[in-house]
Chains A and B, each alone.
Chain A
């Protein structure tokens, strides 16, 4: 589904990713761990299409297409979704409208009719329930005045409504209380299927107890240093990142 090959990315002249490669197949769940500033968000932003990053070499292929040639909205239509580490507040833009516009833009792109208002609201209410998002959030401005945890929950809610093929969750677990973590993880698990893939960026092994990954990668110094299964996360918790670098 997603193939990142020898990706080199700089920000303002500073090299962040230095030849990173990663293959993600449909049906898989990947976890990416790594020290602060390693480039995890950089990777997810580049996949989602944020500008301001200089891609000096390498390729990203998504479902056979050159992802780097696509605009952020085209990527969204093709099924890429990023749950942001720091979701931005957008005063004045209605949360539900945003989703409706997003869903319909995607449908239009796929040659489908727009969802009618009733069906759309039904989906929205269903998904809000799934992540136990208070319905009052639906009519509020996007993320405005939301607490840190509410913003994260809203990201997962949006994911559930937009129904992506490839979901990148950038530290969605940070800032969530224990109950919220369980709820959000439940929401993510419901989305798992053989034609979807999930990439979770996290600092905590705890998340992986709820959402069991097929692969755990350690990103440090701009490349994937080590790939393993869930036990790698446990080992990391115990030994820290230096241990990874020493035991490549």
Chain B
């Protein structure tokens, strides 16, 4: 058996050993993975999807399209002189020495936090993915927009390797063509060399019966910077494990999450930041707006290791429940193994601020509009950090369209 085949077989064995997580698992207490058992197997067909005009229109970006987990080259537009490759393509052409390198892309790090059966399954069964290798000092002049379109279960596996002093912006967008019951199992592995910078956006906007399980695993070298924007507006059940390893001195991460949910949507983000080196900074801002019978779960754990002196960590999670049947379970956790740190974290669950409501009403804005305005503003604060304005206004429109009376958005929202 080739190294590559062996690696994938190992992953399958690991999956069989781990199985799917159960609610007895502390990390899966609120999310019922058993519902996804029958949806695991990918069915990578291109299913006659007409992708014209799908996704974010008017975005000035390089484009990589995956249909049901397979790279659609004809629909894509990639830059010259930069290695942005299809994982399946690489796999097919791998021989000799290359094969070992490629096999590494499928290796499961069993020691990584929050590892679960879905992740092992992903390594075993991924049908394709994007492999970005950005050389030292290279700058991707436009964002890379990775559009995932599906109406079947699919398994994709991305690797973003950003060289020293290199810079990139990657936007992953997940949409469906219909309301088929299916599962997207996705992994994105990010490796940032010294002083590298990546802005990484994930927008989960799949069909109303689609489920989504994701792992985003980031390793950061010295002085690198990683910015994450996770937007959850679609699907029925969505779980993300976001794992950041601040491995090199002076690295920084900035994690932003926004859930705008209604109906019976269930979204669970577990984030884990390991401060392993001195002088690292982590920022985390998660906000949820929950309507209907939706259920949000946020678990944010920051672990400050012994050597990580002068750690600066700040986490905040705010939640607004618009309906009395909506539910949020939030747990910010902090574990610190040295004294020389500055850490703050907190979560709020609540209704809107009375003083702000009264202020708006006293200016002639109706109670109903004032509530919406404050809700939009609350959610929008997470998006302020997004550098791409086309993406930001797309997300604003898509997210806020879920709430009643969402006209006049652009002027409504402050800067």
Which residues, 115 to 173 on B, are CB-close (under 8 Å) to A? none
Q: Which of B31-39, B179-187, B221-229, B352-360 contacts A (4 or more CB under 8 A)?
A: B352-360
Interface extent on B, as a size class? Answer: 20 to 34
Contact A98 B413 (CB under 8 A): no
Q: B358 contacts which chain A residues (CB < 8 A)?
A: 49-51, 72
The answer for the CA separation of A75 and B363 in the assembled complex, in Å, is: 9
The answer for the CA separation of A96 and B353 in the assembled complex, in Å, is: 21
B313 vs chain A, min Cβ distance (A): 22
Contact B415 A140 (CB under 8 A): yes
- Asked if B380 is at the interface (CB within 8 A of a chain A CB), the reply is yes
Contact B365 A73 (CB under 8 A): yes
Contact B377 A92 (CB under 8 A): yes
Contact B366 A105 (CB under 8 A): yes
Q: B71 contacts which chain A residues (CB < 8 A)?
A: none
Bits for B393-415, please: 1 = Cβ < 8 Å to A, else 0: 00000000000000010011111
Interface hub of B354, B361, B412 (most chain A Cβ within 10 A): B361
- Asked if B381 is at the interface (CB within 8 A of a chain A CB), the reply is yes
Bits for A75-98, please: 1 = Cβ < 8 Å to B, else 0: 111000110100110111111111
Once A88-B356, A101-B369 are accepted as A-B contacts, the answer to whether A93 and B364 lie under 8 Å apart by CB is no
The answer for the CA separation of A51 and B358 in the assembled complex, in Å, is: 8
- Asked if B376 is at the interface (CB within 8 A of a chain A CB), the reply is yes
Contact B414 A97 (CB under 8 A): yes
- Asked if B49 is at the interface (CB within 8 A of a chain A CB), the reply is no
Interface extent on A, as a size class? Answer: 35 or more
The one of A82, A84, A95 that contacts B414, using a Cβ cutoff of 8 Å: A95
Q: A72 contacts which chain B residues (CB < 8 A)?
A: 358, 361-362
Contact B411 A76 (CB under 8 A): no
The answer for the CA separation of A70 and B408 in the assembled complex, in Å, is: 27
Residues of B within 8 A of A (CB): 353-356, 358-367, 369, 373-374, 376-378, 380-381, 408, 411-415
**A-B pairs with lowest CB-CB distance, top 3:** A92-B377, A141-B414, A76-B364
Given contacts A73-B365, A97-B414, 18 further A-B contacts (CB under 8 A): A51-B358, A71-B361, A72-B361, A76-B363, A77-B364, A82-B362, A84-B359, A90-B359, A91-B414, A92-B377, A93-B360, A93-B413, A94-B411, A98-B360, A101-B363, A101-B369, A101-B412, A139-B414
CB pairs A–B below 8 angstroms (29 shown): A50-B358, A50-B362, A71-B361, A73-B361, A73-B362, A73-B364, A73-B366, A73-B367, A88-B359, A90-B359, A90-B360, A90-B374, A92-B376, A92-B413, A92-B414, A93-B374, A93-B413, A93-B414, A94-B412, A94-B413, A94-B415, A96-B411, A97-B412, A101-B364, A101-B365, A102-B364, A144-B414, A162-B363, A162-B364
